[in-house]
Amino acid sequence: MRSKLEYELQPIRVPSGWTITINNLFEVELTPETSDWFSSSVLIGGVRRSTGHCFDSRVEPEGDPNGEFVIDFLTIEYDHKGKPVKNSENFLGEFRTKSKVEFIKKIESFMMETLKITP
For residue 29, being part of any structural domain is answered with yes
The 10s digit of each residue's pLDDT in 105-117 is 999 999 999 987 7
The average confidence (pLDDT) of the chain is 92
| pLDDT above 60: residue 1 | no
Calpha distance 32→74 (Å, rounded): 31
| pLDDT above 90: residue 20 | yes
* Percent of the chain residues past pLDDT 70, beyond the cut: 96
Number of structural domains found in the chain: 1
Query: Which of 108, 116, 118 has its CA nearest to residue 46?
Result: 108
* Percent of the chain residues past pLDDT 90, beyond the cut: 76
For residue 100, being part of any structural domain is answered with yes
For residue 8, being part of any structural domain is answered with no
| pLDDT above 90: residue 60 | yes
For residue 98, being part of any structural domain is answered with yes
For residue 24, being part of any structural domain is answered with yes
Angle at 109 between CA 108 and CA 110, to 5 degrees: 90
Higher pLDDT, 2 or 58: 58
Calpha distance 25→43 (Å, rounded): 5
Domain span holding position 59: 19-114
The 10s digit of each residue's pLDDT in 22-42 is 999 999 999 999 999 998 889
For residue 48, being part of any structural domain is answered with yes
